[in-house]
């Protein structure tokens, strides 16, 4: 009874894969992949260079986490904790972006200066 021992060959294979991905992502930065136009508000223009660079970074991260950090061979509990870490990071980034990106949205056809009835006069005493 002891921990799973990853063979040296696996480590070397992951190392080579990480180096290849590093070379790929560096080379890809010098090629213009252009933009993807989705027609969806907020994400209308998606720069494909950024997508490629981050996709390669995520692939490298997964290789390091699964093999160098032994998460592939870890207990389910450890795997859940690892995923929880990235879940919280996703909440942090997405909620911050949701706030920041929606600040320019107008609630009324007339924009922010449209008088809002009822509530403001009631609160008037506070201001």
Residues lying near another protein in the complex (CB under 8 A): 1-3, 5-6, 8, 11-12, 14-15, 18-19, 22-23, 25-26, 28-32, 47, 49-50, 53-54, 56-57, 60-61, 64-65, 67-70, 74-75, 77-78, 81-82, 84-86, 88-89, 92-93, 96-97, 100-101
How far is Cα 27 from Cα 98, in angstroms, rounded to an integer?
33
By C-beta, is 8 or 119 nearer to another protein?
8
**Shortest Å distance, C-beta 90 to another protein:** 9
**Shortest Å distance, C-beta 41 to another protein:** 15
By C-beta, is 85 or 121 nearer to another protein?
85
**Shortest Å distance, C-beta 123 to another protein:** 30
How far is Cα 90 from Cα 76, in angstroms, rounded to an integer?
21
Q: Which residue has the tokens 């090629």?
A: 31
How far is Cα 49 from Cα 30, in angstroms, rounded to an integer?
9
Instruction: Evaluate whether 25 touches 37 at the Cβ level (below 8 Å).
Output: no
**Shortest Å distance, C-beta 66 to another protein:** 11
Task: Centre a 10 Å sphere on the Cβ of residue 68 and count the other Cβ atoms it contains.
Answer: 14
3-state secondary structure of 42: coil
């Amino acid at each position: 009874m002891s921990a799973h021992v990853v063979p040296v060959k696996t480590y070397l294979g992951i190392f080579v894969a990480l180096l290849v991905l590093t070379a790929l992502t560096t080379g890809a930065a010098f090629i213009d992949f252009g933009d993807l136009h989705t027609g969806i508000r907020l994400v209308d223009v998606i720069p494909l260079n950024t997508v490629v660079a981050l996709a390669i970074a995520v692939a490298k991260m997964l290789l390091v986490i699964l093999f160098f950090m032994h998460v592939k061979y870890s207990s389910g509990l450890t795997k859940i904790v690892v995923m929880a870490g990235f879940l919280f990071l996703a909440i942090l980034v997405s909620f911050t972006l949701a706030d920041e990106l929606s600040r320019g949205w107008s609630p009324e056809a007339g924009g922010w200066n449209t008088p809002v009835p009822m509530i403001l006069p009631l609160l008037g005493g506070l201001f």
